[in-house]
Amino acid sequence: MYHSIEKMPRSTIMRSLHVPPKRFKFQMWILYKLGYKGLSLKELKPYLDGKKIGKVVGITFDDGYKNNLLNAAPILSKFNFSATCYIVGDRIGETNSWDLSHGITQRPLMTLNEIKKWLELGMDIGAHTNTHANLTKLTKPQLVQEIYQCKKKLENFFDVTITDFCYPFGQFHEDSVKVVSESGYLTATTMNRGRVNFDSDQLTLPRIPITHHTLPHLFMLKLLSKYEDKR
Ligand SMILES: [Zn+2]
């Protein structure tokens, strides 16, 4: 689980969400050297289902930052990896305004054309609701609006099938998972920590957070040991 791939000034709040491009490149190189292939959730699905076997890692970016296209995509392409970027339907070309009340720095999100470029590079997108809402606070009609309508909107904009969802703030409950299922999504990711296995519920998949603080030895621990699974 990545967010922003960018070098940040010292003063920034929540700078841990920003992984410098150099570090990201090194992490992708480690995966490559260890024989792993980085995949979008769509490409990961057959592995989750046990239909394909191999050394694979799902790579996700939350929110749709412009720096994902500028800084991460060239590195992913270099290693022939793909990734899923979760787009906030009503915030395309804007900023992460949902973070304003927390004092988190505003970063530009990809525009329509930039998301098209992301797709042309062989990367994929998933849905992250229309407004980056905390789904556990919504009524059923609001859940349908945020979860189902976001899928429809992205499919209309980009002429792709949206099969993958990500819960904003990692917040989900029984009702939201139900609407995700009814909307036709095949996978959904949370901020619950751990590595995925065949028993994992595909609509509440755990992830491994990679932050500013994830130095190479910690990256290896997260990837190869039970480090994340125990949390
Ligand atoms: Zn988010």
- Asked if residue 140 is part of any domain, the answer here is yes
What confidence tens digit (pLDDT) does each residue in 135-152 have? 999 999 999 999 999 999
- Asked if residue 51 is part of any domain, the answer here is yes
> CA 95, CA 200: separation in Å to the nearest integer?
33
- Phi, psi of 33, deg, nearest 5: -65, -35
User: Which pTM does this prediction carry?
Assistant: 0.96
**Cα 86-91-97 angle, rounded to 5 deg:** 100
For 42, residues 6+ apart whose C-beta sits below 8 A from its C-beta are 84, 124, 163, 164
Question: Distance from first CA to last CA of the chain, Å, rounded?
Answer: 15
What local confidence, expressed as pLDDT, does residue 231 receive?
Answer: 66
Per the model's pLDDT, the better-predicted residue between 230 and 30 turns out to be: 30
Q: What's the gap in Å between 191 CA and the centre of ligand 1?
A: 10
- Residues 80-106 have a mean pLDDT of 93
Q: What's the gap in Å between 31 CA and the centre of ligand 1?
A: 24
Query: Residue 64's closest CA among 5, 120, 22?
Result: 5
Q: What's the gap in Å between 158 CA and the centre of ligand 1?
A: 20
Whether the per-residue pLDDT at 54 is higher than 70: the answer is yes
Binned at pLDDT 50, 70 and 90, residue 103 comes out as: confident
- Asked if residue 88 is part of any domain, the answer here is yes
Q: What's the gap in Å between 166 CA and the centre of ligand 1?
A: 8
> CA 92, CA 208: separation in Å to the nearest integer?
26
Q: What's the gap in Å between 88 CA and the centre of ligand 1?
A: 8
- Residues 115-143 have a mean pLDDT of 98
> CA 99, CA 134: separation in Å to the nearest integer?
12
- Asked if residue 230 is part of any domain, the answer here is no
Looking up residue 113, the CATH number of its domain turns out to be 3.20.20.370
DSSP letter for each residue of 110-156: P-HHHHHHHHHTT-EEEE--SS---GGG--HHHHHHHHHHHHHHHHH
Whether the per-residue pLDDT at 8 is higher than 90: the answer is no
- Asked if residue 229 is part of any domain, the answer here is no
Contact 84, 42 (CB under 8 A): yes
- Asked if residue 231 is part of any domain, the answer here is no
Residue with tokens 């099938």: 161
What local confidence, expressed as pLDDT, does residue 14 receive?
Answer: 72
What local confidence, expressed as pLDDT, does residue 100 receive?
Answer: 86
Q: What's the gap in Å between 159 CA and the centre of ligand 1?
A: 23
Q: What's the gap in Å between 219 CA and the centre of ligand 1?
A: 22
Number of domains composing the chain: 1
Mean pLDDT of the chain: 95
Q: What's the gap in Å between 55 CA and the centre of ligand 1?
A: 27
Whether the per-residue pLDDT at 230 is higher than 90: the answer is no
Q: What's the gap in Å between 86 CA and the centre of ligand 1?
A: 8
Whether the per-residue pLDDT at 11 is higher than 70: the answer is no
> CA 54, CA 95: separation in Å to the nearest integer?
37
Q: Enumerate the β-bridge partners of residue 5.
A: 19
H or E stretch including 216? helix 216-224
For 100, residues 6+ apart whose C-beta sits below 8 A from its C-beta are 106
Q: Tokens standing for 181? A: 């299922």
Q: What's the gap in Å between 197 CA and the centre of ligand 1?
A: 24
- Asked if residue 16 is part of any domain, the answer here is yes
Q: What's the gap in Å between 136 CA and the centre of ligand 1?
A: 15
Whether the per-residue pLDDT at 227 is higher than 80: the answer is yes
What local confidence, expressed as pLDDT, does residue 45 receive?
Answer: 97
- Residues 140-168 have a mean pLDDT of 98
Q: Domain range spanning residue 94?
A: 4-224
Q: What's the gap in Å between 169 CA and the centre of ligand 1?
A: 6
H or E stretch including 75? helix 73-78
